[in-house]
Structure formats: C-alpha cells, structure tokens
Amino acid sequence: MAIIASGLVNQRKITSAVERAAKALSADVVRIRFDLEDDWTGNPSLFFKIVITYQASRPEKLREVSQRVTRKIMNEAKVDQTGLLAYFSFRSQSEHAKIKDPEWA
C-alpha cells in the first residue's frame, strides 16, 4: 500500500479495478497501465496509460471512446474516493507499436 497525505492507497484494489475496466472495455482497449506518483504540483496522482485499438482511435470515435474509458476507470477504481488526482493518456495500438515506449508495455 502506498502512503499519501490523505492516508493509505490500496494499489491492489486499484489494479483489480483497472483490470475489470479493461475487460469490460476490451472491444476498444488493448491495455491499461497506471502509475502512482506525484504530479508536477506535488499532489499524489494516478497516471493512466491506455492503449486503444485502431478502430477506437478513428477520429469519429475517439472522443466517445476516451470519455467512456475514462468514466469506466474512474467508477471502477473509485478514484474520487482515493484523494488522488487522475490523469489519462491515450495511444492507438499502431502508435504504440511505432514508439515502443517500455513504460507503456
């Protein structure tokens, strides 16, 4: 468990919640990873890295998909109740393949 200013954060519960969200969103989501770190202002935060399918990344779908994914993760992980801020970054599967960033693996 991580200790933050407002108390303990159970990373296992967050991991389980993220796995549930990824499974529920599997038609559009390839993978979800997260890190628990301070943001640039020093506030404890969750940084989500989400790889989405090619189809989900199409311009006509991207907004709806990103909003739905964000909402599902927030609800499953109960982020609002953790006292943490949440940041979301998205990459398409093809973009991820080109960049090959190990932090997104």
pLDDT tens column, 35-77: 999 999 999 999 999 999 999 999 999 999 999 999 999 999 9
Residue 82, H or E segment: helix 79-82
Residue 97: exposed, middle, or buried by beta-carbon count in 10 A (0-12, 13-18, 19+)?
Answer: exposed
The total of structural domains in the chain comes to: 1
Confidence check: pLDDT of 95 > 90: no
Q: How many helices (H) and strands (E) does the chain have?
A: 4, 5
| Whether residue 3 has pLDDT greater than 60 | no
Q: 101 is written with which tokens? A: 């960033």
CATH number at 69 reads 3.30.70.1350
Which has more confidence, 1 or 30? 30
Q: What is the mean pLDDT of residues 73-84?
A: 92
Domain around 84: 2-104
Helix (H) or strand (E) holding 72: helix 59-77
The CA dihedral of 30, 65, 94, 25, to the nearest 10 degrees, is: 10
Please report the pLDDT score of residue 105 as a whole number. 67
pLDDT at 19 over 90: yes
Q: What is the pTM of this model?
A: 0.87
In this prediction, residue 67 carries a pLDDT of 97
